[in-house]
């Protein structure tokens, strides 16, 4: 469905006002980067000042500033400016060093010592004391061109200035951020806690003392493939042993977990390398954080690689390649090509019919086909199937993996999965090998450093630092060693390195961010290409990158070659449109986060525009990707339109029947609504999004969540402003289903009448049929059986069997719903033969539709009809079949099925649990009926007091909900238990029988009226009130012939004769 006219179509929405969106480096006006700032505040005092001219004092401070400038330069910092008696020194710009914070700290200590020494000389010679207060802080700054960097605005220099004011004379006050980088190298003592940033957040402040010998500092881990593989021999050997079992036909499921940077990917790829001489197939999937809401994204990418389409391929060629792949695997093309084409967004030609299955069924077929393809490959030869980063997997991919795991042991297949420790598998891991990777010990770290250094040894003090600072994390070892090798501080002596200058503890950055920033700074022009590529994501194509950057193709390729040489990215595909990938997501993040927010916005806008103008097939296939780029560009109105399209598509896609992805898209879009300035336009967009959210939440989570109630309430607040029109119909339907299943009877009926009126005015036969059926359903629940019957029948009559869009448009099939509701109604009205015929017809039609949800509802209602008829064996048989259906298709009403099955089995404890589970779903529709099932079994077991109490509660609930249709039976059941209690309860029992008969007669529920009449007449006969009993029985003798099929009808005649009638 396209966006509403009131919601701008993405391609029609104007570009931002500041839109210098030509692309490329023109968008890179600034960068965010870590910077360490030292602020020195000077002051003079002493008796000698009264005899010293102000010009001499200025000269003295000027000389001191020159000394500070020289000290800063010696530590690779820079003098950033002076104001009054304060100066600022910067460390980390324009080029980052691996130890900027430590260099700044050393410079601060040297300045403090120089001032102390100079002050002593001045005091002795002239009676003047010179003092300095120093503040040191590390934080992010937005840096522009070097010539413009004399403007020292922003939080980071301001915090350093405030720290200097808090420092005692001759001391250095350090922020908590800087302390965390320096605490392993310098002594500290806490001195205060202050709001330094003005954000009303207290920050610890420390006084820095002397520098101390190197000690271990904890570091965060980060992930990246490491080279070479060291310290994982046991894990690798275990994988190779399991592969031997795979070759023998014993499949293996393996989950490798560990923190980022610990070497999960490197271990898997070392296995790939070791198996190169072994005949097998190797398949790789990777999950990414930006695709969490995209169903089966890893498998879609795998399929794309298997058919290897070029972006310039015509749809026919892509289809032909898909056919070739499926044909090789032995699939029935007519059955599977439409499924895979829908998954891959490949248009079908005239030879194929688009899938007509409802989404849950189509999803099931698609997932099963994917499983079958993998197992078919495993029959040909062993398969190593790797899925990396499961902590970013979409729910549908996890569901598919759960299906796959079940049958892996019987195939020549190794499923090798990787995830971070926080990942919790949604399937059973009882048969799965789990490997948790830990940190490397010192021996392995040293071995790894030597291998990275080409067999040459590093100077011992430098090696000691690498070992200490990396803390056994392979990524840190690799990155820090490469940094040292590229630093220019080493001299190659053949079999070892020496330092090019006296060693002053060449420090390694404390954080991965700083380390990667330093690597990026050494890339020259390629750094800007890396930053632009980071906007595209971890994986990016040369084609899209070239469309965004201003550089010509040759220069872009040169930059990419340099990035590959620097081991920051690698190339994934060499034919057609080459694709590149940052070697780890944290590398991409470092490049992306170095962009200023303004640059990010402009670059995302460039990407969105390029995709819309040059890659229409990508726009059509990935509206969620366009939503992401527009949102990041602060073009939220366009983002909302694309997110809405993505959500609608997710609701309809067969591989996304659980609707989790749709919920994600809608939730994001709702958060962007404030960007729409026009009130009416914003309200309409919010209305449409909440309608989608209601339907997604109903399918995914049941009817209880607060989010669902909030969405409905918001729709109710918004919809009246737009009137009744096709534009608001989806919202009205979504609101109806919520109120119907919560048994808000008046609200549900009002909505159905509103929809029916709208359908009648617009002569929309399809919607009229659907609304007639649901109105009949509402009337049925209200106990207006005679009024409900023609509505239900007319809705079924208006239904067009050739029209299969009802389920996707309205959430149900009107014909089946009308028939199975009529089945319940007809039995209550005393027409059991017609009731069973309608119920069986509903089941038959649902089977023809091949729609599991509709079939399940039809079977459930037919079982309900047999429950009305007290045919336990029929109920048991139907619910047996229904339980299998609800389990295999995850149908929302499984608890209802369980309850009827437990009633048929007379399992009271299980039935109580089932009814409590129904309560827990939040569904209140029909709840008095379900609770009464428990009372029936309690009465059968002689627990009449419990039954009476429960039925009294059912009657109160029915009155509260307005569900009158079952009230006559509730009174009858209560009367039976009261009669069984005897004594004074018989009088109350008689009143309940009378109420049952009166209400049933008013409703036209002859089956319940006759059943209650028969029960009270037997009671009257025992009380020797035979005349009253005969009079009651005589009234039923004139009922229509169809009532003769009721089993109670023959009993009533026999009793009438027995009483002398």
Peptide bond into 228 cis (omega under 30): yes
- In this prediction, residue 418 has a pLDDT band, given cuts at 50, 70 and 90, of very high
Distance, CA of 862 to CA of 843 (rounded, Å): 8
Tell which wins on pLDDT, 1035 or 1004: 1004
Share of the chain above pLDDT 70, in %: 89
Report the DSSP pairing between strands 252-257 and 413-419: parallel
Handedness of CA 1040, 1041, 1044, 1046 (dihedral sign): negative
Distance, CA of 52 to CA of 126 (rounded, Å): 9
Exposure of 1019 by Cβ count < 10 A (0-12 exposed, 13-18 middle, 19+ buried)? middle
How large is the average pLDDT for residues 843-871?
A: 94
Helix/strand/coil (H, E, C) string of 63-80?
HHHHHHHHHHHHCCCEEE
Per-residue pLDDT of 759-798, as tens digits, reads 999 999 999 999 999 999 999 999 999 999 999 999 999 9
How large is the average pLDDT for residues 293-316?
A: 79
Number of domains in the chain: 6
- Could you give phi then psi for residue 539, rounded to 5 degrees? -110, 140
Structure tokens at 655: 């591989």
Per-residue pLDDT of 1-60, as tens digits, reads 223 333 444 444 444 433 344 445 556 667 888 899 999 999 988 888 777 788 888 888
Q: Residue 510: pLDDT above 50?
A: no
DSSP three-state, residue 230: coil
Q: What is the pLDDT of residue 239?
A: 96
Provide the phi-psi class of 702: left if phi over 0, else alpha when psi is between -120 and 50, else beta: left
Q: Residue 727: pLDDT above 90?
A: no
Distances (CA, A) of 554 to 548, 549, 571: 14, 12, 16
pTM (two decimals): 0.68
Lowest mean pLDDT among 75-89, 93-107, 499-513, 941-955: 499-513
Q: What is the pLDDT of residue 220?
A: 33
Per-residue pLDDT of 609-620, as tens digits, reads 999 999 998 899
Statement to judge: residues 888 and 911 lie in one domain: yes
Cβ-Cβ contacts under 8 Å for 202 (sequence gap 6 or more):
193, 194, 195
DSSP three-state, residue 435: strand
- In this prediction, residue 706 has a pLDDT band, given cuts at 50, 70 and 90, of confident
Distance, CA of 483 to CA of 518 (rounded, Å): 8
Statement to judge: residues 283 and 408 lie in one domain: yes
Statement to judge: residues 1024 and 1053 lie in one domain: yes
Distance, CA of 141 to CA of 593 (rounded, Å): 12
Torsion of CA 365, 367, 372, 373, to 10 degrees: 110
Distance, CA of 805 to CA of 41 (rounded, Å): 76
Residue 643 lies in a domain: no
- In this prediction, residue 567 has a pLDDT band, given cuts at 50, 70 and 90, of confident
Statement to judge: residues 772 and 909 lie in one domain: yes
Q: Residue 83: pLDDT above 80?
A: yes
Cβ-Cβ contacts under 8 Å for 407 (sequence gap 6 or more):
251, 371, 375
Q: Is-contact 298 306, C-beta < 8 A?
A: no
How large is the average pLDDT for residues 956-968?
A: 96
- In this prediction, residue 967 has a pLDDT band, given cuts at 50, 70 and 90, of very high
Statement to judge: residues 50 and 122 lie in one domain: yes
Residue 405 lies in a domain: yes
Statement to judge: residues 939 and 829 lie in one domain: no
Residue 116 lies in a domain: yes
Statement to judge: residues 921 and 940 lie in one domain: no
E strand segments, 243-280: 252-257
Provide the residue range defining the domain that includes 312: 233-436
Residue 694 lies in a domain: no
How large is the average pLDDT for residues 933-937?
A: 97
Q: How many helices (H) and strands (E) does the chain have?
A: 44, 17
Whose CA is closest to 726, among 687, 683, 755, 691? Answer: 755
As a whole number of Å, the CA-based R_g of the chain is 38
Q: What is the CATH classification number for the domain harbouring 90?
A: 3.30.70.1230
Structure tokens at 986: 């018989």
Q: What is the pLDDT of residue 125?
A: 85
Q: Average pLDDT over the chain, rounded to whole? A: 86
Q: What is the pLDDT of residue 310?
A: 55
Query: What is the CB neighbour count within 10 angstroms for residue 800?
Result: 13
Lowest mean pLDDT among 171-175, 267-271, 810-814, 901-905: 810-814
Q: Is-contact 214 505, C-beta < 8 A?
A: yes
> What is the enclosing helix (H) or strand (E) of 451?
helix 442-452
DSSP three-state, residue 522: coil
Q: Is-contact 559 551, C-beta < 8 A?
A: yes
- In this prediction, residue 576 has a pLDDT band, given cuts at 50, 70 and 90, of low
- Looking at 407, 436, 465, the residue that finishes a domain is 436
Distances (CA, A) of 481 to 123, 562, 919: 49, 19, 61
Distance, CA of 912 to CA of 916 (rounded, Å): 6
Q: What is the pLDDT of residue 49?
A: 78
Q: What contacts 24+ positions apart, CB below 8 Å, involve 943-950?
A: 944/977, 944/978, 944/980, 944/981, 945/977, 945/981, 947/973, 947/974, 947/977, 948/974, 948/977, 948/978, 948/981
Q: Is-contact 397 298, C-beta < 8 A?
A: yes
- Looking at 384, 415, 436, the residue that finishes a domain is 436
Query: What is the CB neighbour count within 10 angstroms for residue 561?
Result: 13
Distance, CA of 957 to CA of 870 (rounded, Å): 24
Q: Is-contact 1016 990, C-beta < 8 A?
A: yes
Cβ-Cβ contacts under 8 Å for 1041 (sequence gap 6 or more):
none
Would you mind telling me the total number of residues written for the chain in this entry? 1061
Whose CA is closest to 775, among 803, 800, 750? Answer: 750
Statement to judge: residues 417 and 479 lie in one domain: no
Report the DSSP pairing between strands 539-541 and 579-582: antiparallel
Q: Residue 588: pLDDT above 90?
A: no
Q: Residue 1008: pLDDT above 60?
A: yes
Per-residue pLDDT of 624-637, as tens digits, reads 999 999 999 999 99
Helix/strand/coil (H, E, C) string of 426-488?
CCCCCCCEEEECCCCCHHHHHHHHHHHCCCCECCHHHHHHHHHHHCCCHHHHHHHHHHHHHCC
- In this prediction, residue 350 has a pLDDT band, given cuts at 50, 70 and 90, of confident
Q: Residue 223: pLDDT above 80?
A: no
Cβ-Cβ contacts under 8 Å for 1025 (sequence gap 6 or more):
none
Statement to judge: residues 285 and 422 lie in one domain: yes
Residue 692 lies in a domain: no
Statement to judge: residues 898 and 965 lie in one domain: no
Distance, CA of 604 to CA of 606 (rounded, Å): 5
Distance, CA of 391 to CA of 373 (rounded, Å): 25
Q: What is the CATH classification number for the domain harbouring 906?
A: 1.25.40.10
Residue 768 lies in a domain: yes
- Looking at 615, 635, 655, the residue that finishes a domain is 635
Statement to judge: residues 895 and 993 lie in one domain: no
Statement to judge: residues 855 and 826 lie in one domain: yes
Query: What is the CB neighbour count within 10 angstroms for residue 496?
Result: 14
Residue 982 lies in a domain: yes
Residue 7 lies in a domain: no
């Amino acid at each position: 469905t396209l966006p509403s006219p009131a919601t701008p179509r993405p391609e029609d929405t104007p570009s931002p006002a500041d839109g210098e969106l030509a692309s490329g480096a023109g968008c890179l006006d600034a960068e965010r980067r870590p910077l360490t700032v030292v602020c020195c505040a000077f002051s003079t005092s002493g008796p000698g000042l009264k005899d010293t001219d102000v010009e001499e004092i200025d000269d003295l401070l000027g000389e001191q500033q020159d000394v500070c400038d020289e000290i800063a330069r010696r530590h690779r910092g820079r003098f950033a400016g002076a104001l009054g008696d304060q100066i600022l020194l910067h460390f980390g710009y324009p080029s980052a060093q691996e130890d900027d914070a430590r260099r700044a700290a050393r410079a601060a200590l040297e300045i403090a010592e120089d001032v102390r020494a100079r002050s002593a000389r001045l005091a002795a010679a002239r009676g003047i004391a010179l003092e300095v207060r120093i503040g040191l802080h590390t934080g992010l700054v937005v840096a522009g061109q070097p010539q413009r960097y004399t403007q020292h605005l922003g939080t980071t220099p301001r915090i350093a200035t405030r720290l200097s004011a808090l420092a005692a004379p001759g001391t250095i006050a350090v922020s908590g951020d800087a302390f965390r980088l320096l605490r392993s190298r310098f002594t500290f003592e806490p001195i205060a806690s202050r709001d330094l940033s003005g954000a009303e957040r207290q920050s610890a402040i420390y006084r820095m003392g002397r520098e101390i010998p190197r000690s271990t500092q904890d570091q965060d881990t980060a992930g990246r493939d490491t080279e070479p593989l060291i310290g994982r021999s046991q894990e690798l050997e275990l994988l190779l042993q399991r592969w031997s079992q795979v070759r023998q036909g014993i499949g293996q499921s393996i989950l490798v977990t560990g923190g980022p940077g610990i070497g999960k990917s490197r271990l898997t790829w070392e296995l790939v390398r070791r198996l190169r001489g072994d005949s097998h197939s190797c398949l790789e999937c990777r999950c990414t954080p930006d695709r969490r809401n995209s169903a089966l994204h890893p498998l879609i990418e795998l399929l794309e690689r298997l058919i290897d389409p070029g972006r310039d391929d015509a749809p026919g060629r892509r289809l032909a390649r898909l056919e070739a792949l499926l044909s090789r695997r032995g699939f029935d093309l007519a059955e599977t090509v439409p499924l895979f084409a829908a998954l891959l967004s490949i248009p079908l030609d005239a030879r194929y019919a688009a899938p007509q299955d409802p989404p849950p069924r189509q999803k099931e077929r698609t997932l099963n086909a994917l499983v079958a393809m993998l197992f078919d490959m495993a029959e040909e030869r062993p398969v190593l199937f790797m899925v990396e980063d499961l902590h970013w997997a979409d729910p549908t991919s996890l569901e598919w993996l759960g299906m796959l795991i079940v049958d892996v042991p019987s195939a020549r297949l190794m499923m090798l999965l990787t995830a971070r420790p926080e990942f919790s598998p949604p399937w059973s891991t009882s048969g799965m090998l789990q490997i948790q990777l830990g940190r490397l010990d010192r021996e392995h770290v040293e071995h790894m450093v030597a291998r990275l250094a080409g067999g040459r040894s590093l100077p011992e003090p430098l090696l000691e630092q690498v070992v200490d600072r990396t803390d056994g994390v392979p990524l840190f070892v690799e990155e820090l060693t490469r940094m040292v090798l590229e630093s220019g501080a080493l001299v190659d002596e053949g079999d070892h390195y020496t330092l090019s200058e006296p060693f002053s503890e060449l420090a390694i950055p404390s954080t991965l961010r700083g380390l990667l920033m330093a690597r990026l700074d050494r890339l020259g022009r390629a750094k800007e290409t890396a930053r632009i590529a980071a906007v595209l994501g971890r994986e990016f194509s040369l084609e899209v990158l070239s469309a965004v950057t201003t550089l010509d193709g040759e220069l872009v390729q040169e930059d990419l070659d340099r990035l590959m040489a620097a081991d920051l990215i690698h190339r994934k595909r060499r034919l057609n449109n080459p694709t590149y990938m940052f070697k780890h997501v944290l590398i991409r993040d470092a490049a992306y986060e170095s962009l200023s927010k303004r640059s990010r916005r402009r670059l995302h806008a460039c990407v969105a525009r390029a995709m819309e103008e040059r890659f229409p097939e990508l726009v059509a296939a990935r509206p969620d990707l366009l939503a992401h780029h527009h949102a990041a560009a602060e073009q939220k109105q366009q983002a909302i339109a694309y997110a809405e399209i993505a959500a609608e598509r997710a609701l309809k896609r067969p591989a996304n029947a659980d609707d989790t992805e749709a919920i994600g898209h809608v939730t994001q879009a709702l958060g962007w609504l404030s960007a729409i300035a026009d009130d009416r336009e914003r309200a309409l967009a919010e209305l449409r999004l909440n309608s989608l959210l209601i339907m997604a939440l109903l399918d995914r989570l049941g009817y209880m969540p607060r989010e669902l109630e909030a969405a409905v309430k918001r729709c109710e607040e918004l919809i009246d402003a737009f009137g009744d029109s096709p534009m608001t119909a989806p919202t009205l339907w979504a609101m109806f289903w919520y109120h119907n299943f919560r048994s808000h009877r008046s609200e549900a009926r009002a909505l159905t009448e509103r929809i029916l009126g709208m359908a009648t005015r617009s002569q929309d036969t399809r919607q009229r049929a659907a609304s007639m059926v649901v109105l009949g359903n509402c009337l049925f629940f209200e106990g207006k059986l005679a009024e409900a019957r023609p509505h239900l029948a007319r809705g079924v009559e208006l239904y067009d069997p050739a029209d299969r869009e009802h389920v996707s448009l309205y959430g149900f099939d009107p014909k089946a719903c009308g028939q199975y509701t009529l089945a319940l109604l007809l039995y209550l009205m005393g027409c059991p033969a017609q009731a069973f015929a309608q119920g069986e017809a509903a089941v038959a039609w649902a089977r023809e539709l091949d729609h599991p949800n509709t079939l399940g509802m039809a079977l459930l209602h037919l079982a309900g009809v047999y429950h009305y008829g007290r045919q336990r064996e029929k109920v048991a048989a139907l619910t047996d079949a229904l339980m299998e259906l609800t389990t295999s298709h995850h149908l929302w009403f499984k608890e209802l099925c369980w309850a009827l099955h437990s009633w048929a089995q007379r399992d009271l404890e299980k039935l109580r649990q089932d009814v409590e589970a129904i309560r827990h779903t939040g569904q209140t529709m029909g709840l008095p009926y379900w609770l009464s099932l428990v009372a029936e079994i309690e009465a059968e077991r002689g627990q009449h007091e419990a039954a009476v109490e429960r039925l009294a509660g059912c009657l109160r609930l029915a009155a509260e909900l307005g569900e009158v249709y079952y009230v006559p039976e509730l009174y009858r059941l209560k009367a039976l238990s009261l009669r069984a209690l005897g004594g004074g309860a018989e009088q109350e029992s008689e009143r309940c029988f009378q109420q049952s008969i009166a209400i049933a007669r008013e409703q036209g529920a002859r089956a319940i009226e006759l059943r209650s009449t028969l029960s009270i007449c037997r009671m009257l006969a025992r009380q020797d009130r035979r005349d009253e009993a005969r009079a009651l029985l005589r009234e039923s003798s004139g009922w229509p012939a169809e009532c003769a099929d009721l089993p109670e009808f023959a009993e009533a005649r026999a009793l009438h004769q027995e009483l002398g009638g």
